[in-house]
C-alpha cells in the first residue's frame, strides 16, 4: 500500500501527536506495510498467523510498549499502544488485536495488580518472547462476565483450578495466561480471583480453535483446566478482587478495541479512495461523480470523529482522570462507524468488492467483531447511560 496515495496527515491532524508519537506511528506503519501486508491474504485464508511474524513483532518492541525499561519494555505510553494497534489494524485487524491484548489487557493488568515478584517474573518474557492471553469469558458468561463457573479450590500453598474458558484471544500462541476463577461461589462476584498460569501447567490445555468470520489470523480458542495447581504467589491482586482487575483492565482494553476499529475503517477508506480514482465508468473515474464523493466524504467524517473520541479517551487515561464513560463511548462509536465505513467501501468497489481479489470484503468481515468483543455495543450503551444518569 502506497501511503502517499492518500495523505494520512490530512485525516489525522499532526497537532494531536507529539513528535515522538509521530515517529513511533511512522515506524509501526512502515513495519505493517513492509512485513505484514504481504502476508495478510495468506493468513486470512489459512486462518492463522504466519509463524515468523511474532518474532518480528517482538523485535519491533511493540509487545511491551508501556512496560518500564527495567522490566524489558519500551517505557512508552498508553497512547502509543493505541497508535500501534491503529496502524497495525489499518493493514490487518488480526495482528492489531494480538498487540492490543498483549498491551492493554495482559501487561497492564500485571503492571497494575502484580507483586514485584510477578512483574520481574513475567513482564520481561511478555516483552521479549511470550504472547499473553486474558481468560475471562465462558460459555455461560459473556456480557454477564461475573457469572463464570470456573472454580479455584484453596489448598495449603495454592489453588486447584477447574473449568473451561471460551473465546480466548491469542490462546493458540500464548505462553502466559491471566485466568479468572471463583474461590468462593457463595460470595458471588466477590469470590472472583485473577491468577497467572503458564502454558505448561499440568492439567491445562488449549482446546478447539474457532473458525471465524473475521480477524481470522488471530487465534480464538477454548481453554480447558482440570485441577491445575497454581501457587499462591501467582494470584494477581488479592483473592476475591478479580472483579476489580477485570473491570478496570477492560476499561482500558475498550480504548484498544476503539483503536483497532479506526484502523480498520481507515484502511477501508483508503482502499475505496484509491479504487474510485482508478475505476472508470461513462468515460470518467467514479471519483468524479458526486454520489461517490459524498460517500467518501461521509466515511472520512466518521473515521475522524471516531479517531478523536479514541484519542481523547486515551489522553484522559494517561492524565489519570476518569475515563470509563469516554472509553465506552469511543468503543461504541468506533465499532459502529467501522461497520458503516467498511460496508460503504465494499459498495464503492461494486461487484469487485464482493470478491477476495480486493481488500474491501476483508475489512468488512474484520469490522463486525468490534461490536461484539470486550463488551457488546448494547453493554457500552448501558455503561454510558449509567455513568451519565
Please give the Cα distance from 117 to 233 (Å, whole number). 8
Give residue 137's domain range. Answer: 133-240
- pLDDT tens digits in sequence order for the chain, 389 residues long: 343 333 444 344 434 789 999 999 999 999 999 999 999 999 999 999 999 999 999 999 999 999 999 999 999 999 999 999 999 999 999 999 999 999 999 999 999 999 999 999 999 999 999 999 999 999 998 888 788 999 999 999 999 999 999 999 999 999 999 999 999 999 999 999 999 999 999 999 999 999 999 999 999 999 999 999 999 999 999 999 999 999 999 999 999 999 999 999 999 999 999 999 999 999 999 999 999 999 999 999 999 999 999 999 999 999 999 999 999 999 999 999 999 999 999 999 999 999 999 999 999 999 999 999 999 999 999 999 999 99
Supply the CATH number for residue 100's domain.
1.10.540.10
In a shared domain, residues 114 and 66: yes
Residue 252 lies in a domain: yes
Instruction: Give 338-373 pLDDT, tens digit per residue.
Output: 999 999 999 999 999 999 999 999 999 999 999 999
The 10s digit of each residue's pLDDT in 275-327 is 999 999 999 999 999 999 999 999 999 999 999 999 999 999 999 999 999 99
Report if residue 289 sits inside a domain.
yes
Show Cβ contacts of residue 367 under 8 Å, excluding neighbours closer than 6 positions.
Answer: 93, 214, 261, 264, 265, 268, 335, 338, 339, 341, 342
CA torsion, ordered 58, 54, 103, 266, to nearest 10 deg:
110
Question: Which of 131, 146, 163 is the last residue in one of the domains?
Answer: 131
pTM of the complete model = 0.94
CA-based radius of gyration for the chain? 21
Contact status, residue 357 vs residue 275, Cβ threshold 8 Å: no
Q: Is residue 14 part of a domain?
A: yes
How many folded domains does the chain comprise?
3
Question: Do residues 246 and 181 touch, judged by C-beta distance below 8 A?
Answer: no
Nearest to 371 by CA among 217, 180, 214, 252: 214
Q: Is residue 2 part of a domain?
A: no
Domain match, 262 and 341 both: yes
Identify the active-site residue in 138, 302, 304, 374.
374
50, part of any domain: yes
Same domain, 91 and 186: no
Q: Cα separation of 261 and 61, whole Å?
A: 22
Output the pLDDT for position 386: 97
Note if 374 is an active site residue.
yes
Last residue of a domain, one of 131, 152, 187: 131
Same domain, 127 and 137: no
Among residues 71, 102, 131, the one where a domain terminates is 131
Decide if 3 is inside a domain. Answer: no
Judge if 324 and 352 occupy the same domain: yes
Is 293 within the bounds of a domain?
yes
For residue 377, the domain's CATH number is 1.20.140.10
Amino acid at each position: 500500500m502506497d501511503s502517499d496515495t492518500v495523505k494520512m496527515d490530512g485525516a489525522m491532524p499532526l497537532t494531536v501527536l507529539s513528535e515522538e508519537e509521530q515517529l513511533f506511528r511512522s515506524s509501526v506503519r512502515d513495519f505493517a506495510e513492509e512485513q505484514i501486508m504481504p502476508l495478510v491474504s495468506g493468513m486470512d485464508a489459512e486462518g492463522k498467523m504466519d509463524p515468523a511474524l511474532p518474532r518480528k513483532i517482538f523485535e519491533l518492541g511493540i509487545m511491551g510498549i508501556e512496560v518500564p525499561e527495567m522490566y524489558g519494555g519500551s517505557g512508552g505510553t498508553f497512547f502509543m499502544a493505541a497508535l500501534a494497534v491503529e496502524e497495525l489494524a489499518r493493514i490487518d485487524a488480526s495482528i492489531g488485536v494480538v498487540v492490543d491484548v498483549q498491551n492493554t489487557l495482559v501487561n497492564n493488568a500485571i503492571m497494575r495488580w502484580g507483586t514485584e515478584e510477578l512483574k520481574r517474573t513475567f513482564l520481561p518474557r511478555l516483552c521479549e518472547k511470550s504472547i499473553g492471553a486474558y481468560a475471562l469469558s465462558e460459555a455461560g458468561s459473556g456480557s454477564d462476565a461475573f457469572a463464570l463457573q470456573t472454580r479455584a479450590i484453596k489448598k495449603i500453598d495454592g489453588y486447584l483450578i477447574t473449568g473451561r474458558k471460551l473465546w480466548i484471544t491469542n490462546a493458540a500462541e500464548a505462553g502466559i495466561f491471566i485466568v479468572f476463577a471463583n474461590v468462593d461461589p457463595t460470595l458471588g462476584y466477590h469470590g472472583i480471583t485473577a491468577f497467572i498460569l503458564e502454558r505448561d501447567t499440568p492439567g491445562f490445555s488449549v482446546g478447539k480453535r474457532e473458525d471465524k468470520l473475521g480477524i481470522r489470523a488471530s487465534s480464538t480458542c477454548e481453554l480447558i483446566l482440570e485441577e491445575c495447581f497454581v501457587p499462591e504467589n501467582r494470584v494477581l491482586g488479592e483473592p476475591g478482587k478479580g472483579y476489580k482487575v477485570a473491570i478496570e483492565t477492560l476499561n482500558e482494553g475498550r480504548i484498544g478495541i476503539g483503536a483497532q476499529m479506526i484502523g480498520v475503517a481507515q484502511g477501508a477508506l483508503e482502499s475505496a479512495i484509491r479504487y474510485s480514482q482508478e475505476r472508470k465508468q461513462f468515460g470518467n473515474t467514479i471519483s468524479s461523480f458526486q454520489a461517490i464523493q459524498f460517500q467518501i466524504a461521509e466515511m472520512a467524517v466518521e473515521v475522524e470523529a471516531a479517531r478523536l473520541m479514541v484519542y481523547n479517551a486515551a489522553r484522559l487515561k494517561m492524565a489519570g482522570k476518569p475515563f470509563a464513560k469516554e472509553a465506552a463511548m469511543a468503543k461504541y462509536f468506533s465499532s459502529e462507524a467501522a461497520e458503516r465505513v467498511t460496508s460503504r467501501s465494499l459498495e464503492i468497489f461494486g461487484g469487485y468488492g464482493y470478491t477476495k481479489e480486493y481488500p474491501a470484503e476483508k475489512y468488512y468481515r474484520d469490522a463486525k467483531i468490534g461490536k461484539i468483543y470486550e463488551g457488546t455495543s448494547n453493554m457500552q450503551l448501558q455503561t454510558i447511560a449509567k455513568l451519565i444518569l
